[in-house]
Structure 1
Amino acid sequence: MVGIVCLSWLALSWPWLSGAVTIPWDAKAHFHPQLQFLADSWHRGLSPFWTPYVFSGSPQVADPQSLIFSPSFALIAALNPAPDFRWSDGAVLGTLLLGALSFVLIFRDRGWHPAGAVVAALAFAFGAAAAWRIQHVGQVLSLGYFAVTLFLLSRALERGSLGYGFAAGLASGFMVLGRDQVALIGVYVLAGLVIAAILMASSPWRAFRTSLPPLLAGTLGAILVATVPILLTAFIAQESNRPAIDFVEAGKGSLHPAALLTGLIANLYGAAGPLADFWGAPSPAWEARFGPLGLYLARNMSQLYLGLVPMGLILTIGIIRGALWRREIVALSVAALIVLLYALGRYTPAFRLLFELPGVSFYRRPADALFILGALLALLGGYLTHLVMTGAAPRARPWQLALEGLIFAGALALALWLAWTVGRIPVATTPLVVAVLCAIVSLGGLVAARGLARRDAALAATFVVAATLVMDLSVNNGPSESTALPPQMYEVLRKDSGNETIALLKRETARTAAPDRRDRIELAAIDFHWPNASLVHELDNTLGYNPLRLGLYSKATGAGDHVALPDQRSFSALMPGYRSLLADMLGLRFIATGVPVEQIDKGLKPGDLKQIARTRDAYVYENPRALPRLLLVTEAQKADFGAILSSGQWPPGFDPRRTVLLDREPPPLPTGAIGQGMATIRDYGTTTVTLAVDAPRGGYLVLNDVWHHWWQVEIDDRPAELLRANVLFRAVVVPPGKSTVRFVFRPLEGLYADIVARLRG
């Protein structure tokens, strides 16, 4: 059984594992650069807790998508200083295999037929959102840990085992480390299943007492794994750009009821092909016929297909004949129903109630529930396969057979009507024909497997079911534009990339480097996957791709989630364009854009920037006014940073080369301090920046790196006061003479101080 699942997994995963295609979109634009940065940091002996390479500095340790706390990706980073795409793709697919094997063990523990285990495992790993949204790496990892936790938890409760309970806690800890909606829904489902198991026991009180020790052990395991990372994220989130999500906004990510047809007809709406072919809700084609929906979902976010074997059995034997309400499976059935209602969001009254559950209001897209719904439906489909193989499935009465036929015919008719109404019959024809053919093959495979099972040929029956499902899933959920693209498209994200734009930026920043200067670059409107290329190639970038950023930086610079298109580079009051004092203070020296820069910053005038190159990918410009990273000044004044951010107006006559602005009364300098002296960069790491200062009579040392209160500063190994300077940057008062200044990022100490302050306040 395990061997069949592994071979099936290998067959379905081979397009990615072979390197013929790679998991695209977020998997490359966001997550692969994170892996490369993690690997670079560890192999250079640096900490990955802060990166200077995106958004002028970002706290990786608190970012739920940084992969620092993911065991599989952390192991890859430790082993390989330059992991290629197959490594990162393999980690994602391997996590799904781990979850699939967990389902196999659940079935074995219950003595259910191996064919059912194979159906559950393959439908889990290659069905619904696990297949269609595999590029959303963090959510896929949470899904895999959900399956592992479910297996370990079931063993812990059945055996009263502290060991399995503790292991379940560790697995659930890694699940919640995803800090995404899949993890949250997974926690609620697991908690509900535990409560159901206790209440449905013959003696609930005895079951509770028996379950309590393993549950406490599990709680301990989860606390050990997840507490610190979650607290780090929670405190950073308070200072981030993350907006509050209300009930109406969350409802815009609801699953449209018409998407349920994809449970039987995989590519009905053309989600696997070119974007222009997609006609499902909420595409322009759909809204042109049915009116605006106000939904914000990508084309791959509404796909429910698990294979016709599990889905067909759920509709017929499960729902119409009532097998899903058997005592041994009813808790899973109820859980699946509740998760489906949540996924449908604003289209059912249940969403109002579910939205009030703790944590739900942090997330904007109920349709993310399709990850967990797919896992639950996979288990149910596998269980029903077990009933068929063992002859325990309820026999159909004539009216039930008629209703079953009517459901499938009705689904095809509704699909045809929608396609005709929207004017997409040519796009829908092939998926409809494929669905009919797969239904015939799946039915034939089940009949053949049942015949083998009757002759006690369980292995052969399992193999037939596996082959049938592999064929089905490879045809309907196989590589598509949503899940697989040529790796050559992402060549710039390779550590050894020969991309001429990146090579040019590396040469130019090396050319302009100086003892006090470390110039920044900006990558804008080149392509979706470009912003985080700076993480791979160690270029200090003012932008990046990440939905979570420091709120202060976003407000000061206008930096958004990503900048694939010209209109996605928004500016701010304080940084109205590239010709601005804040751009100069950031040391923004080189700007690479996919279109002429005037199409991005319409306020530019001739001579504001100098074009230095035109590569195949980009126009490259130089800003000759960019200031050094270090400034040593002897004047300071208090300023209202909030007012400066809002108005975009610096104090009259402000020159950062002479004066530093502080958010408090300036600490005094030694009497008679004159002269600016000199400051140089001795060592610039990720979480430690060491500077040599020669200030004859002292001064204010300004480091034009993003300020955050988890940074600390030391002068000659003695603590000093970290100052917030010029709205966005760091500063410290240095004594007369020569000294060594170190800025150190200490998030754990900062977190502890924040917790203490919160408890006292």
Structure 2
Amino acid sequence: MSEPDQTDSPPQTPRWPLASVFFIVFCAWFALSWPWLSGIVTIPWDAKAHFYPQLQFLATAWHRSLSPFWTPYVFAGSPQVADPQSLIFSPPFALIAALNPAPSFRWSDGTVLGTLLVGAFAIVLLFRDRNWHPAGAVVAALCFAFGASAAWRIQHVGQILSLGYFAVTLLLLSRALERRSLVYGFCSGLAAGFMVLGRDQVALLGVYVLAGLTIAAIAMAEQPLRALLRSLGPLIAGTLGAILVATVPILLTLFLAQESNRPVIDLLGAEKGSLHPASLLTGLIANLYGASGPLDNFWGAPSPAWEQRFGPLDLFLARNMGQLYLGLLPMLLILTIGLVRGALFRREIVALTIAAVLVLLYALGRYTPAFQLLFHLPGADFYRRPADALFILGALLAILGGYLTHLVMTDTAPRGSVWQKLVEAALLLGALALALWLAHTVGRLQLAIVPVATALLCAVLAMGALVAARGFALRGATIAAAIVLAAMLVVDLSANNGPSESTALPSTNFEMLRADSKNETIALLKRETARTAAPDRRDRIELAGLGFDWPNASLVHELDNTLGYNPLRLGLYSKATGAGDHVALPDQRTFSALMPGYRSLLADMLGLRFIATGVPAEQIDKSLKPGDLVQIARTADAYVYENPRALPRVLLVTQAQKADFGAILDSGQWPASFDPRRTVLLERDLPPLPAGPDQAGSVKIVDYGTTEVSLAAEAPRGGFVVLNDVWHHWWQVEVNGKPAELLRANVLFRAVAVPPGRSTIRFVFRPFEGLYADIGKLVMARYKPPV
């Protein structure tokens, strides 16, 4: 980021071939993205198991004129509006949902890849603003979009979105400071706001990096005070833009977090997600540890093979989380011209260099003392993997590599002395020797030979392309130089960072997630829930132990599921039912004191009627006895059972009993003789019902939407209508068109008192009113005068 007070307008560079560079970057992006854009493969894991169902739910809700702010289809009800991964506040995905009621896998994958393209274009514009060589811009843009975690962890959609917004914000903020522009300042704030809406660690680190670069630009100006004063307008405008976009969603998430299952991560917990120093070798040898192949081939830290040789590491990282490779050319330039010869410490780039070093120290976690200090940054204790910093580190290294390419193309790179060249050779040969020694020590030398040979071939290719491009550049053939380097990077990145088991699997693997799925298990559950539907019934299902991609299939197919896949859940529901983040494997279905198994009163109250499991249910719930569940089918995917005791979704009862919900949750013991068909448990005493005829009443579902449920009750002597949906205080209720008190009933559910006679009841989810009330309560509690 340039000094903000050195120029009143951007440098005039009419000859910079912007359109041509955009076209080169687009062609390279299209070539590298084609496996996904063609539909041959699709982005797997979280991109499908978690984010794609969110997109489909969002599209379905909007095209049915329903609100997507609450979903009944996972965890017996979940506040989507406060979930940072629901995609509601993501403009590209929201646009897809608005345009297409059933977006395909290619639509979803294309949006993720398109986000990286937008970020790449922002990098190009950043280079143009500085009049850095177009070939350097091409290198930086392609390495940004297809390097490090952007390539290896593309399945983490939220973090990819944050990375794309980071590049855009960097460009706009830079222009705002350099041009003293309120418009660019405001736009940079909008982009930063959307980045922060990801509410992930990439966004957090992106904010700190951008803040640090801003401070550095002001501090390094010839007149820092004058630079600060000139920057105030754009920075204030940016702050307003960010507040406009991000305030309400972030507050929703913060207040939800207080009631969720997500605790603050302590230092020891966070350090378990540290990047092992040996992973840095992947910056030069992409697949050194076998991360792209079968899981058994992976031998890097922390794999069983590594720990068997070097001892336990107590790290919890997937094999793709330690991949730093972003092309051999930029990494070679960074190590040699950049570090050994000192080009990265020039005034115009040193702030980015320092930022990259600090982000690397953060990523290494426990392996440097710096993390203990950096962990005290506000917000750091919400995240458990410092290795996620590789997203931002990859972006910074891509820019640094592009800058060094610019120096080479313009013949302004420092010449190396003999000793510097010897140090460079020692560094590269030392890295190669260390890689081979580690492979030999762990007993995986044969697996390492191909990646090492590939790296050597790519080194030859990169150096040859660099020499050829430099020759073109010095003769004035700027576009030819850019094309040569783009072609080289397409070969390099497709060979080393191309589709792998972590980033690309056949689309046919995810048939159960298609809106028009013909999957036998899904079709059976749809038929059975339709068969048992009744005026008072809306039966729930459970998907357990069917595989990684199954838990959120209910979001796609509008099946009311007691479980799902989400790291963020209502804490009350998790404690009551034992619901965890995921239920891909049979042993991930844990139960609770209050719901010790499928044969339990809480399971019946939830209306859990149909259970599909990947193994016989007795292997999941070992307390089951013959006859507790009735097996009704055996499909290719699942054993499907029916629970004949499942209760209706709505009940009308005439008795109320005060109960200690905390004690019930802890002990798992309901009050003696409690029958939810006759009595409702409440947290406080209510006046007795008026005397009246002792005759049965009834209640039925009139309309059941996402954020609104309408019921009709016939209660001769009044009573309580119990809706067996998860209670949350952002829900409100009306009886006969008038506001009524929403009661938390039977520990987990919603209820309302109704007068004698006929009543219409309307439950409505109003999160913004609830947020406003929560803020008011917080303020009152904080500033309440002492008694």
Return the TM-score normalized by structure 2. 0.96
Q: Report the CA distance between 1:672 and its aligned residue.
A: 4.0
Residue 784 of structure 2 corresponds to: none
- Aligned partner of 2:778 in structure 1 is 758
1:706 paired residue among 698, 718, 726: 726
How far apart are 1:164 and its partner, in Å?
Answer: 0.5
Name the SS for the 2:151 alignment partner.
helix
Q: Give runs of aligned pairs for residues 120-519 of structure 1, distance below 5 A.
A: 120-519=140-539
Secondary structure of 1:546 counterpart: coil
- The 1:582–1:289 alpha-carbon spacing in structure 2 relative to 1, beyond 3 Å, is same
Which residue number corresponds to residue 111 of structure 2? 91
Instruction: Establish whether residue 595 from structure 1 lines up as the match of residue 618 from structure 2.
Output: no
Matched, 1:59 2:117: no
Which residue is equivalent to 2:578? 558
What CA distance in whole angstroms lies between the structure 2 residues aligned with 1:648 and 1:243?
23
Whether the 8 Å CA contact 1:632–1:676 is kept in 2: the answer is no
Match of 2:13 in 1: none
- For the 8 Å contact 1:634–1:673, the answer to whether it is kept is no
1:111 is aligned to 2:122:
no
| RMSD (Å), alpha carbons | 0.6
SS of the residue corresponding to residue 692 of structure 1 reads strand
Residues 692 and 716, structure 2, Cα contact 8 Å, conserved in 1: no
- Work out the percentage of aligned pairs sharing the same amino acid: 79
Q: 2:63 aligns with which of 32, 38, 43?
A: 43
Instruction: Determine the structure 2 residue equivalent to 1:531.
Output: 551
Relative distance call for 1:673 and 1:134 in structure 2 (3 A) is farther
Partner of 1:718: 738
Tell me which amino acid in the other structure corresponds to 1:492.
Answer: M
Change in CA separation of 1:55 and 1:725 when aligned onto 2, cut-off 3 Å: same
For residues 470 and 627 of structure 1, the distance between their equivalents in structure 2, rounded to whole angstroms, comes to 59
- Aligned mates of 1:36, 1:654 — CA distance in 2: 40
1:240-276 deviations in whole A, cap 9, x for unaligned?
0002211101000000000000000000000000000
> Deviation digits for residues 173-205 of structure 1, max 9, x if unmatched?
000000000000000000000000000011111
Rounded Cα–Cα distance in structure 1 between residues aligned with 2:543 and 2:446: 40
| Offset of residue 671 of structure 1 | 3.6
Q: Corresponding residue for 1:647?
A: 667
Matched length: 761
| TM-score normalised by structure 1 residue count | 1.00
Query: Given residue 749 of structure 1, which amino acid in structure 2 is its aligned partner?
Result: E
Shift of 1:674: 3.8
Pick the aligned partner of 1:697 from 707, 714, 717: 717
Whole-Å Cα distance in 2 between the matches of residues 598 and 312 of structure 1? 57
Distance (Å, rounded) in 2 between the aligned partners of 1:396 and 1:668: 91
Amino acid at match of 2:318: A
8 A contact 2:322–2:387 mirrored in 1: yes
Please state whether the residue corresponding to 1:542 is helix, strand or coil: coil
Q: Distance in 1 between matches of 2:458 and 2:277?
A: 23
Q: Deviations over 1:101-150 (max 9, x none)?
A: 00000000000000000011000000000000000000000000000000
- Residue identity opposite 1:99 in structure 2: G
Do the aligned residues in 2 keep the contact of 1:633 with 1:676 (CA within 8 Å)?
Answer: no
Tell whether 2:53 aligns with 1:33. yes
Query: In the TM superposition, what whole-angstrom CA distance separates every residue of 1:577-617 from its partner, at most 9, and x where no partner exists?
Result: 00000000000000000111111001100000000000000
Rounded Cα–Cα distance in structure 1 between residues aligned with 2:155 and 2:236: 35
Residues of 2 paired with 1:426 and 1:622: CA distance?
52
Structure-2 residue corresponding to 1:660: 680
* Contact 1:103 1:120 (8 Å CA) reproduced: yes
Question: Secondary structure of 2:684's partner?
Answer: coil
Query: In the alignment, does 2:92 pair up with 1:72?
Result: yes
Query: What secondary structure does 1:253 align onto?
Result: coil
Among 44, 54, 79, which residue is 1:24 paired with?
Answer: 44
1:82 maps to 2:102: yes
Equivalents in 2 of 1:40, 1:407: separation in Å? 55
Corresponding position: 1:670 with 2:690: yes
CA distance in 1, matches of 2:631, 2:104: 33
Q: How many angstroms apart in 2 are the aligned matches of 1:615 and 1:38?
A: 29
Residue 667 of structure 1, CA deviation = 4.3
Q: Distance in 1 between matches of 2:263 and 2:192?
A: 27
CA contact (8 A) 1:632 1:678 kept: yes
Give the deviation of 1:625 after TM superposition.
0.2
3-state SS of paired residue (1:701): strand
Structure 2 Cα separation of the partners of residues 449 and 154 of structure 1: 29
Deviation, structure 1 residue 739: 1.2
Give CA deviations for 1:328-360 in whole Å, capped at 9, x if unaligned: 000000000000000000000001100111110
The structure-2 alpha-carbon separation of the partners of 1:673 and 1:634, relative to structure 1 and needing over 3 Å to count, comes to: farther
Please state whether the residue corresponding to 2:505 is helix, strand or coil.
coil
Deviations 1:596-642 (A, max 9, x none): 11110011000000000000000000000000001100000110000
Question: 2: CA distance between counterparts of 1:347 and 1:673?
Answer: 74
**Secondary structure at 1:653 match in 2:** coil
| Residue 673 to residue 281, structure 1, CA distance change in 2 (3 Å) | farther
Distance 2:428 2:695 in 1: 85
Question: CA-to-partner distance for each residue in 1:714-738, whole Å, 9 max, x for gaps?
Answer: 0111100000000000000011111
Residue type of the alignment partner of 1:38: L
User: Could you tell me which residue of structure 2 aligns to residue 737 of structure 1?
Assistant: 757
Q: Tell me, what secondary structure is at the counterpart of 1:156?
A: helix
CA contact (8 A) 1:519 1:540 kept: yes
Matching residue's letter, 2:585: L
Per the alignment, in what secondary structure is the counterpart of residue 430 of structure 1? Answer: helix
Instruction: For residue 79 of structure 1, report the CA deviation from its aligned partner.
Output: 0.1
Answer whether contact 2:175 2:181 (CA < 8 A) is retained. Answer: yes
Tell me how far 1:481 sits from its aligned partner.
Answer: 0.3
The offset of 1:673, in angstroms, is 6.8
Q: Distance in 2 between matches of 1:119 and 1:90?
A: 22
Q: What is the CA–CA distance in structure 2 between the aligned matches of 1:107 and 1:596, rounded to whole Å?
A: 59
Please list the CA deviations of residues 204-259 of structure 1 after superposition, one character each: whole Å capped at 9, or x if unmatched: 11111111101100000000000000000000000000022111010000000000
Contact 1:55 1:541 survives alignment (8 Å): yes
Structure 1 unaligned blocks of 5 or more: none
Contact 2:117 2:145 in 1 (8 A): yes
Task: State the secondary structure of the residue aligned to 1:158.
Answer: helix
In 1, Cα distance between equivalents of 2:230 and 2:691: 73
Residues 42 and 505, structure 2, Cα contact 8 Å, conserved in 1? yes
CA contact (8 A) 1:714 1:720 kept: yes
